[in-house]
Amino acid sequence: MNTDQHILDLIDNEAIPDQSTLLDRLASRGIHLTQPTLSRHLRKLSIRKQDGRYRVNREPVAMLPRMEITAVPPNLLVLKTDPGHAQMLGLHLDKRQPDGMAGTVAGDDTIFIACEPGTELDTLRERVLAVFGGGDSGNS
């Protein structure tokens, strides 16, 4: 699990009232951050304080554009979407950083998704789809 995933796990599973508590909880997991670094992570992950605790701002997505994901062995997925949507989808993927994803490169209607060594392409494909709500809104 990377730092962002640890933060999301703590926010989802515990009532974290402030950054000091979150820093302490991360330290107990062996992750030592400064307060400014933690603030940047929270901003990147769209985490905000609501009702006295930190929560992920999960704004509903009205409609996702069409997506088609193709595996290109040995370590690449290619996501094709409608024109003008690739950068937005790529940014969303980069913020959520599913396990096994090394990074993305987004153009206008195509995203290259690099797979970390040892991660199966089909597994990463399912994780990418889960980031967008689990449904394959197009083809394969």
Give this prediction's pTM: 0.55
Which domain does 105 fall in, by range? Answer: 67-131
Same domain, 81 and 125: yes
According to DSSP, residue 138 is labeled S
Same domain, 127 and 99: yes
**DSSP E strands, 30-107:** 47-50, 53-56, 67-72, 76-81, 101-106
Q: Largest Cα–Cα distance of the chain, in whole Å? A: 46
Same domain, 22 and 77: no
Alpha-carbon torsion angle 110, 62, 96, 14, nearest 10: -170
Same domain, 19 and 46: yes
pLDDT in tens, 78-128: 999 999 999 999 999 999 999 999 999 999 999 999 999 999 999 999 999
Same domain, 40 and 80: no
76, 92, 101 from 120: Cα distances, Å: 10, 21, 10
CA angle 54, 60, 64 (to 5 degrees): 135
Indicate the residue type of 23.
L
Please say if the pLDDT value at position 61 is more than 70: no
Number of domains in the chain: 2
